[in-house]
Amino acid sequence: MKHFLLFYDVTPDYLERRATFRSEHLRLARAAVERGELVLGGAMNDPVDGTLLLFKGETREVAEQFARVDPYVLNGLVEQWRVREWTTVVGAGAATPLV
């Protein structure tokens, strides 16, 4: 199992616009948690200019598929998104722990 970070760069009016799409976004996120794919997610603060979601899976497709159907992306609240593999080595959930 590997870790993947999904980065969202959000629009300047993200906070004002997200309420319309938030319940559907959270439904999607909670379903990903239930499937064991999404570990953590949330907005960056001060300033709120992006969000970050941590996924686990065999390939980056798990994070990419989430972004492709996310109402925040589909409705233009996300200006750009990208997925990066994250090599985790320390902590209880590390994918490649160093001993």
**For residue 59, what is the domain's CATH number?**
3.30.70.1060
- pTM of the entire structure? 0.95
- Distance from C-alpha of 40 to C-alpha of 34, rounded to nearest angstrom: 12
Domain that holds residue 38: 2-86
Residue 68 lies in a domain: yes
Per the structure, the count of domains in the chain is 1
Vertex 40 angle, CA 76 and 22, to 5°: 35
**Which tokens go with 87?**
């090599």
Look at residue 97 and tell me if it is in a domain.
no
Torsion angle of the four alpha carbons 26, 31, 35, 37, in this order, in degrees rounded to the nearest 10: -30
Residue 99 has pLDDT above 90, yes or no: no
**What does the pLDDT look like over 22-44, one tens digit per residue?**
999 999 999 999 999 999 999 99
Q: What confidence tens digit (pLDDT) does each residue in 53-78 have?
A: 999 999 999 999 999 999 999 999 99
